[in-house]
Amino acid sequence: MDRLVNTVRPYAWGSTTAIPELLGTPPTGEPQAEMWMGAHPGAPSRTERGPLNEVIDADPVRELGAPAVDKFGPRLPFLLKLLAAGAPLSLQVHPDLAQAKAGFAAEEAAGVPIDAAHRNYKDANHKPELICALGTFNGFCGFRDPVEAADALSALGVDSLKPYVDLLHAHPEEDALREVLTALLTADPAEMAHTVAEAAAAAQRLGGAHAPYATLAHHYPSDPGVIAAMLLNFVQLQPGEALYLGAGVPHAYLDGLGVEIMANSDNVLRCGLTPKHVDVPELLKVVRFEPTDPGILRPEASPSGEEVYDIPIDEFRLSRFVRAEGAAPTDVTAGTPQILLAVAGRPKAGEVTLAPGESVFVPAGETTELSGTGTVFRATVAA
């Protein structure tokens, strides 16, 4: 197996303390938003054999196993991260596989540079995600019932929000949500800035369930995404709880530390809470305008002690082992590639002792045992 040396990405929304506290290192004073573990070419993990993407490219079948290569191609199909949000991330959605392929092909044919600020599709893959909380983790996920959203907006007592309240009472619900989001994102910027300021002041005064929107407005004082977020379910995860984010589901993370795993893609369409490009027509093609329960996931324990998060896709599978002192070693040998990440204690993967935040890549078929005490997340694929 390969001990991984991983890159921490300093995105502006990152916490300055959460990842250093987990790693037991002093804060630098700069945001540390994401630590990437995997073979993504943007920041591949490093091993003694070289960058992980180059190690895999040299012999995909040996590293990934024939079943994974046959199913997903000669690349690691997932990216594992530690994600530490100190400020809100953009309100966003991801395309499904067909949309990603079509969008990528269209932008390639149009000659849009891959690094252009207005480029929507950086690759031809979808980007389902799973976020698992390591502490209290706050965010927004999926549309709530339009009438509940209307009540939340109405409670603010802002006159310029009344047209949106009326629209949310219309039927069918999907059309009501589409009309309101479209209206928010195409409103006059000066008028919207005034509406957001009034709404933020009211949310600050009301507190309680409105408090998260005051927080959003503090970071994005004139952004229509503040109002758009009120259309969504507010979700607070406790340690060990997770959210699965499928295609077309609008979401935004507010704050907290978690383990995130996703398909190997950069495709994001933004709805707001960002200075970056928002392509409203393309966004409206991708968003699924249907009220949904956010569906908080809790792991399902197996006889081996592995706790698995049940999700409906194959590119990745996340589970964890919470190992008590004196527990017998657990065989985690698999015919698929694995990344093992420690988040507590000092467990061992084979002969490698892992401190919190340390990880290893295990090639397909390599005999591996977990031993010692602590918590280990296991990322692999369902091939």
Return contacts of 12-18, CB within 8 angstroms, 24+ apart: 12/87, 13/85, 13/86, 13/87, 13/88, 13/89, 14/84, 14/85, 14/86, 14/87, 15/84, 15/85, 15/86, 15/255, 15/257, 16/86, 17/86, 18/84, 18/86, 18/257
End-to-end CA, the chain: 20
Cβ atoms within 10 Å of 80's Cβ, excluding its own: 28
Q: Which residues of 327-349 are buried (b: 16+ CB within 10 A; e: fewer)?
A: eeebebebebbbbbbbbbbebbb
Using alpha carbons only, what angle is made at residue 266 by residues 260 and 267, rounded to the nearest 5 degrees? 110
The DSSP call for residue 32 is B
Which of 143, 343, 129, 127 is closest to 235 using CA atoms? 143
The answer to whether residues 295 and 348 touch, using CB atoms and an 8 Å cutoff, is no
3-state secondary structure of 383: coil
The answer to whether residues 278 and 284 touch, using CB atoms and an 8 Å cutoff, is no
| List of residues 6+ apart from 158 with CB closer than 8 A | 195, 198, 199, 202
- Residues with catalytic annotation? 270
